[in-house]
């Protein structure tokens, strides 16, 4: 059975880094949701403005289509995506809820803010608070503490039973 694993969390939590490593270890395709934003969204975030729900609609539609197309082809994927609100997660998994698993990279503001200052990205560190303000922590996700090393984070994810079911 194919599976879509969506690595989620606020900007700077390590979604792309962890997602790439997870996909590599599983031998699955990796996608970064940031690459699916319309140009208007990137421009808005680059100017220091957070996106609103209306801005996110076409982005979420494109991501849902990406997940659905891969699952229809029996291709398992890892997708790095903020998925901050429950309604975004519902939209991402719409029509394939039983084949979608969320991994929440949980971290505190200070840890993530320090990480963000050390990287180049269109999401500016000053916008981090808006991410935490928007975040609705998921009830049904694999939750991993990001204060661990990257290897420990990925190992925690891979220890979850869903990956053992997939391989059998």
Q: What is the pLDDT of residues 72-115, one digit of tens each?
A: 999 999 999 999 999 999 999 999 999 999 999 999 998 988 87
Please state, in angstroms and rounded to a whole number, the distance separating the CA atoms of residues 91 and 66.
12
The answer to which of 8-12, 80-84, 130-134 has the lowest mean pLDDT is 130-134
Average pLDDT, the chain: 90
**Domain spans in the chain, listed from the N-terminal domain onward:** 4-167
Q: Report how far residue 139's alpha carbon sits from residue 141's, in angstroms, rounded to the nearest whole number.
A: 6
Structure tokens at 8: 């989620």
| Separation in Å, CA 160 to CA 1, 150, 163 | 16, 16, 6
State residue 152's pLDDT score. 97
Of all residues in the chain, the percent with pLDDT exceeding 70 is: 92
Work out the number of other CB atoms within 10 angstroms of the CB of residue 65.
11
Partnered with residue 7 across adjacent β-strands are 80, 103
Proportion of the chain above pLDDT 90, given as a percent: 71
Higher pLDDT, 47 or 18: 18
CATH architecture of residue range(s) 4-167 = 3-Layer(aba) Sandwich (3.40)
pLDDT tens-digit readout, 19-35: 999 999 999 999 999 99
Q: Is the predicted pLDDT of residue 151 greater than 70, yes or no?
A: yes
- The pLDDT value recorded for residue 136 is 97
What does the alpha-carbon distance between residue 137 and residue 47 come to, in Å, rounded to a whole number?
A: 27
Mean of pLDDT values over 114-138: 75
Q: Is the pLDDT of residue 41 over 60?
A: yes
């Amino acid at each position: 059975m194919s599976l879509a694993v969506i690595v989620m969390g606020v900007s700077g939590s390590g979604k792309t880094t962890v997602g790439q490593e997870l996909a590599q270890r599983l031998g699955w395709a990796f996608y970064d949701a940031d690459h699916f934003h319309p140009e208007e969204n990137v421009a808005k975030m680059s100017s220091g403005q957070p996106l609103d729900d209306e801005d996110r609609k076409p982005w979420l539609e494109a991501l849902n289509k990406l997940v659905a197309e891969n699952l229809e082809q029996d291709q398992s994927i890892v997708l790095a995506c903020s998925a901050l609100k429950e309604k975004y997660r519902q939209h991402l998994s719409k029509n394939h809820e039983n084949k979608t698993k969320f991994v929440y990279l949980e971290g505190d503001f200070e840890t993530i803010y320090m990480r963000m200052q050390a990287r180049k990205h269109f999401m500016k560190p000053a916008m981090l608070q808006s991410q935490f303000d928007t975040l609705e922590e998921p009830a049904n996700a694999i939750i991993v503490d990001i204060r661990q090393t990257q290897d420990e984070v990925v190992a925690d994810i891979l220890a979850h039973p869903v990956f053992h079911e997939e391989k059998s």
